[in-house]
């Protein structure tokens, strides 16, 4: 066991998964990943490149990946924004890669050294066009290690970009980690063509798993890779039926991920108050569940490790018996929208949201959950619409996050509740 930082664990996981190429650009709070890769890669015969910007970083990663290397880049919000075009490119051209985003407060330059979970929607929708993203969300340093390994497995076997999404706290937190040698199955492998090189080889003809076998550049298979819509030969096309089929295949291809990444279910069997949370707030919420149980509240935690694609079936199952659902996240309500979509019952939802750079504490989750539990089963009348949801705990952070008076006024029916919360703390 070693005591290391989340960012270092990410680099260790990448090396363990066979990553041999890293390109990156300095940015807080992810820079330690690049620093660790610069130290580790030469020892493993790999290449570290400090690129001129984030677009070049991911571009180089994709070039190296086509050459046959397992490749990764790491960044944070502003850099993740710049990478979006190449993430879309990797998705359409089906080039395996791992992109790590250590989230900080945004938008814009925002809060370079404070945590946030504000890039969750960006991880799915940041690139233009229809795209089925794959994004993993570790909540501990150990999980950063394990899920970085799994990210490579998924990226390689599915020929798609995979994002590992955690926040500044997980990135900089130090914990004991078992740097286990990964199970070869979790590392995955790139599907390779079985037919020999020749004119009949089609680089985008998918196998039964909807993945097209990918040879390396320079091994005898001569083929074309483009970000234009293409046919199975890889040649550009505007044939609308071919394009529609391609988009459908790419989306279906990654759905298998929902069966490969386990969510954490904690005390969910008899829970009527279900907390849904991921990443660092998932841990805060877990501690809160224990306290809530001691106070007689039947609380449980459902913590996805996979944010995209959403595990609709598992989430629906988790919410089946819930009388109240508390989504806890460090943003103004991003993944809560997905929970709302799957729950299909606004009356259940009591999000605890907090943006501004402060972490959500266990006490805040407990207070909020107790309030919700008090009102059961009449909780529905106390609901705050998601679109207008304001952190219940803002009163504690007046200095950091001021709620304009007009915000409470607009909320109307729930005005009294909000005022009581903000004013009473």
89: contact with another protein by CB under 8 A:
yes
Cβ neighbours of residue 152 closer than 8 Å, sequence gap 6 or more:
14, 17, 18, 19, 70, 72, 98, 162, 187, 188
**In Å, how far are 133, 142, 216, 348, 417 from 282, measured between CA atoms?**
21, 14, 40, 19, 26
CB of residue 53 vs another protein: minimum separation in angstroms? 6
Find the shortest distance in angstroms from Cβ 234 to another protein.
9
35 makes contact with another protein (CB under 8 A)? no
Bridge pairing between strands 174-177 and 2-5? antiparallel
| CB closer to another protein, 89 vs 145 | 89
Of 52 and 259, nearer to another protein (C-beta) is: 52
Closest residue by Cα to residue 84 from 225, 215, 227: 227
Sequence-ordered list of residues with C-beta below 8 angstroms from that of 170, at least 6 positions apart, any chain: 6, 102, 138, 139, 140, 141, 144, 279, 280
Identify the residue among 66, 372, 390, 418 touching another protein (CB under 8 A): 66
Q: Contact region for another protein (CB under 8 A) — 226-234, 285-293, 338-346, 385-393?
A: 226-234
In the list 227, 375, 385, 395, the residue contacting another protein (rule: CB under 8 A) is: 227
Told to check if 78 binds another protein by CB under 8 A, we report no
Indicate whether 86 belongs to the interface with another protein (CB under 8 A).
yes
Q: What is the per-residue binding string for another protein in 162-201, x denoting contact by CB under 8 A?
A: -------------------------------------x--
Q: Which of residues 15, 34, 37, 49 is near another protein by CB under 8 A?
A: 49
Burial string for 238-268 (b: 16+ CB within 10 Å, else e) reads eeeeeeeebbeebeebbeebbeebebbbbbb
d(CA 27, CA 88): 22
Choice between 55 and 287, CB closer to another protein? 55
132 lies in the binding site for another protein (CB under 8 A): no
Give least dist CB 35 to another protein, A: 17
Cα of 215 vs its chain's centroid, Å: 28
Least distance (Å) between residue 78 CB and another protein? 16
How many Å separate Cα 320 from the centre of its chain?
24
When binding is defined by CB under 8 A, the residue of 39, 44, 174, 224 that contacts another protein is 224
Residue pair 175/3 in contact (Cβ under 8 Å)? The answer is: yes
C-alpha–C-alpha distance, residues 379 and 100, integer Å:
39
Bridge partners (DSSP) of residue 352 are 328
64: contact with another protein by CB under 8 A: yes
Q: Which is nearer to another protein, 219 or 341 (CB)?
A: 219
**Nearest approach, Cβ of residue 82 and another protein (Å):** 11
Cis-peptide, bond into residue 63, ω within 30° of zero: no
Query: What is the per-residue DSSP string for 42-80?
Result: GGGT-EEEE-SSHHHHHHHHHHHHHHT-EEEEEE-HHHH
Phi-psi sector, 272: left (phi>0), alpha (psi -120 to 50), beta: alpha
* Count of residues interacting with another protein (CB under 8 A): 44
In the complex, what is the shortest distance from the CB of residue 132 to another protein, in angstroms, rounded to a whole number?
Answer: 20
Using rule CB under 8 A, residue 96 touches another protein = no
51 near another protein (CB under 8 A): yes
Residue 204 lies near another protein (rule: CB under 8 A): no
Q: Which residues contact 221 (CB under 8 A, 6 or more apart)?
A: 193, 197, 201, 203, 215
Of 38, 121, 210, 225, the residue at the interface with another protein (CB under 8 A) is 225
Does position 67 interact with another protein (CB under 8 A)? The reply is: yes
Report the residue from 23, 36, 250, 276 that binds another protein according to the rule CB under 8 A: 23
Of 90 and 123, which CB lies nearer to another protein in the complex structure? 90
Rounded to 10°, the helix 141-158/6-16 angle is 40
Site membership for another protein, residue 39 (CB under 8 A):
no
Q: Which residue, among 14, 115, 154, has the nearest Cα to 71 in the 3D structure?
A: 14
Contact positions vs another protein (CB under 8 A) = 20-21, 23, 42, 47, 49, 51-53, 55-57, 59-69, 71, 85-86, 89, 199, 216-228, 233, 235-236
């Amino acid at each position: 066991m070693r005591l290391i930082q989340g960012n270092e664990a990410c680099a260790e996981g990448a090396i363990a998964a066979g990553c041999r190429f890293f390109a990156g650009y300095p940015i807080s709070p992810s820079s330690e990943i690049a620093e660790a890769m610069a130290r580790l890669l030469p020892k493993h015969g790999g290449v570290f490149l400090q690129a001129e910007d984030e677009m070049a970083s991911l571009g180089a990663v994709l070039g190296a990946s086509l050459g046959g290397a397992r490749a990764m880049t790491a960044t944070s919000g502003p850099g993740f924004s710049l990478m979006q075009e190449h993430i879309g490119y990797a998705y359409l051209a089906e080039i395996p890669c791992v992109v790590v985003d250590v989230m900080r407060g945004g938008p814009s330059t925002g809060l370079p050294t404070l945590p946030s979970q504000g890039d969750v929607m960006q991880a799915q929708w940041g690139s233009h066009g229809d795209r089925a993203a794959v994004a993993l969300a570790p909540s501990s340093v150990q999980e950063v290690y394990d899920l970085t390994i799994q990210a490579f497995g998924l990226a390689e076997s599915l020929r798609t970009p995979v994002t590992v999404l955690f926040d500044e706290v997980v990135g900089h937190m130090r914990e004991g980690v078992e740097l286990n040698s990964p199970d070869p199955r979790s590392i995955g492998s790139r599907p390779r063509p079985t037919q020999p090189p020749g004119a009949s080889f089609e680089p985008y003809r998918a196998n039964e798993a909807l993945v097209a076998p990918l040879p390396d550049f320079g091994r005898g298979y001569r083929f074309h890779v483009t970000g234009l819509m293409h046919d199975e030969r890889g040649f550009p096309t505007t044939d609308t039926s071919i394009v529609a089929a391609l988009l459908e295949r790419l989306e279906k291809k990654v759905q298998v991920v929902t069966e490969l990444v386990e969510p954490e279910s904690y005390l969910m069997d008899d829970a009527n108050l279900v907390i849904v949370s991921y990443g660092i707030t998932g841990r805060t919420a877990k501690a809160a569940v224990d306290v809530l149980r001691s106070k007689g509240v039947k609380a449980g935690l459902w913590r996805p490790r996979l944010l995209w694609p959403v595990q609709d079936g598992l989430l629906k199952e988790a919410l089946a018996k819930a009388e109240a659902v508390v989504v806890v996240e460090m943003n103004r309500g991003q993944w809560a929208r997905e929970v709302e979509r799957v729950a299909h019952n606004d009356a259940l939802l009591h999000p605890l949201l907090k943006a501004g750079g402060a972490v959500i504490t266990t006490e805040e989750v407990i207070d909020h959950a107790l309030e919700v539990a008090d009102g059961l089963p009449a909780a529905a009348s106390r609901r705050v619409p998601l679109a207008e949801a304001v952190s219940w705990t803002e009163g504690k952070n007046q200095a950091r996050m001021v709620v304009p008076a007009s915000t409470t006024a607009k909320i109307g029916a729930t005005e009294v509740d909000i005022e009581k919360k903000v004013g009473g703390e």
